[in-house]
């Protein structure tokens, strides 16, 4: 019995060891590890949450939960003295802020608590992180070096990519992120779809796209949370999430810098694709940090179908 447990422990790969084995450079893997630790603190705050609104608005006019603000404070404070981050941009802030000495290597973008409005109904929510070099105001493929998201659900899981595939880790009882799935790969075509926005507000081309999915027997899976819906597509190995251009919101709802770029980076590393209906998400130049974009993200067949039907 004792020997078996010992052998099992030797075979466990935690996050730090995995990044070392993957050849991720030292500074980047230390930064990813620190962000993963921040996820533990945010998870603890979620469990303490009293579900009450803070009575404030963020820069987009959305109600801010006290939990949003606390999560942002935790993320910014932990990164401020990390030694690896010179600038920080968050969905909860009005602009990019300098948090280091100016000599650090990376810029971090964060949606510290995506889907926080789902807390009161006890649904899964998450954290989305992009890690950039040089500047965030450029094409994603030029600036992003890594991305990750953490899902706070029945399990706390993290999927990260540093450009060498997409890998899932689970937070165990000892507080370690241990490898669950390595080099996740989506199938060419999935069987689920997550359509955002009200049907009455959809553009005709998008409506036809959804009707085609329904005709083909796709199963509707939409929680209202970007992180859990994307996570489901990745874990189920295929499908498509979309938040389209709407009649009154031609740029959709989701933020290019804080939400779409990191998820597109991870999705491409898992063999999927992400587009605004015309251009790949990671090929879109970020003009300002508040920029919005429609999105079709998931396995290749569905994203290509969207591009064909929207063109």
Q: How much is the average pLDDT of 72-95? A: 94
Residue 56: C-alpha distances to residues 14, 73, 260 (Å): 39, 15, 25
Neighbours of 280 (CB within 10 A): 17
**75 vs 61: which has the higher pLDDT:** 75
Task: Say yes or no to pLDDT of 252 above 70.
Answer: yes
Q: What pLDDT sits at residue 54?
A: 41
When pLDDT is cut at 50, 70 and 90, the band that residue 63 belongs to is very low
Q: What pLDDT sits at residue 57?
A: 57
Task: Say yes or no to pLDDT of 4 above 70.
Answer: no
Residue 24: C-alpha distances to residues 121, 148, 236 (Å): 38, 14, 27
pLDDT digits (tens, 9 = 90+) for 20-37: 999 999 999 999 999 999
Q: How far, in Å, CA of 168 to CA of 193, rounded?
A: 22
Radius of gyration of the chain (CA): 19
When pLDDT is cut at 50, 70 and 90, the band that residue 6 belongs to is very low
Domain ranges of the chain: 9-181, 192-310
The predicted model scores a pTM of: 0.92
Q: How much is the average pLDDT of 225-247? A: 98
Task: Say yes or no to pLDDT of 18 above 70.
Answer: yes
Q: How much is the average pLDDT of 236-247? A: 98
Question: Are the C-beta atoms of 66 and 113 separated by less than 8 Å?
Answer: no
Q: For the domain bounded by 192-310, which CATH number is listed?
A: 3.40.190.80
- Here the tokens at position 46 are 């979620």
Q: How far, in Å, CA of 86 to CA of 99, rounded?
A: 5
**53 vs 234: which has the higher pLDDT:** 234
The strands making up 192-195's β-sheet, listed across from edge to edge, are 219-220, 192-195, 240-243, 295-298, 273-275
Question: Are the C-beta atoms of 147 and 159 separated by less than 8 Å?
Answer: no
pLDDT digits (tens, 9 = 90+) for 169-214: 999 999 999 999 999 999 999 999 999 999 999 999 999 999 999 9
Q: How far, in Å, CA of 99 to CA of 35, rounded?
A: 15
Architecture of domain 9-181: 2-Layer Sandwich (3.30)
Sign of CA dihedral 148, 294, 88, 138: positive
Q: How far, in Å, CA of 244 to CA of 241, rounded?
A: 10
Q: What pLDDT sits at residue 248?
A: 95
Q: How much is the average pLDDT of 85-111? A: 94
Question: Are the C-beta atoms of 111 and 58 separated by less than 8 Å?
Answer: no
Name the residue among 183, 186, 170 with its Cα closest to residue 236.
186
């Amino acid at each position: 019995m004792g020997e078996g447990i010992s052998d099992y422990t030797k075979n466990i790969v935690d996050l730090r060891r995995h990044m070392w084995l993957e050849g991720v450079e030292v500074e980047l893997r230390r930064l990813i590890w620190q962000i993963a630790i921040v996820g533990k603190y945010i998870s603890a705050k979620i469990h303490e949450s009293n579900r009450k609104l803070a009575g404030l608005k963020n820069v987009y006019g959305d109600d801010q939960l006290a939990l949003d603000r606390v999560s942002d404070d935790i993320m910014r404070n932990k990164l401020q003295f990390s030694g690896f981050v010179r600038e920080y941009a968050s969905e909860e802030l009005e602009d990019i802020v300098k948090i280091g000495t100016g000599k650090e290597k990376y810029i971090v973008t964060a949606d510290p608590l995506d889907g926080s409005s789902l807390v009161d109904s006890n649904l899964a929510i998450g954290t989305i992180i992009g890690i950039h070099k040089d500047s965030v105001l450029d094409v994603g493929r030029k600036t992003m070096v890594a991305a990750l998201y953490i899902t706070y659900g029945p399990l706390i899981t993290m999927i990260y990519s540093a450009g060498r595939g997409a890998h899932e880790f689970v937070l165990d009882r000892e507080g370690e992120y241990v490898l669950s799935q390595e080099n996740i790969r989506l199938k060419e075509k999935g069987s689920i779809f997550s359509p955002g926005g009200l049907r009455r507000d959809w553009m005709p081309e998008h409506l036809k796209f959804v009707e085609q999915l329904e005709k083909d027997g796709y199963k509707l899976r939409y929680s209202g949370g970007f992180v859990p819906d994307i996570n489901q597509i990745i874990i189920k190995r295929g499908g498509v999430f979309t938040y389209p251009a709407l009649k009154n919101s031609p740029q959709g709802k989701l933020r290019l810098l804080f939400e779409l770029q990191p998820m597109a980076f991870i999705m491409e590393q898992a063999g999927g694709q992400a587009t605004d209906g015309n251009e790949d998400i990671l090929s879109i130049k970020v003009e300002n940090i508040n920029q919005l974009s429609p999105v079709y993200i998931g396995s290749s067949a569905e994203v290509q179908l969207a591009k064909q039907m929207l063109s």
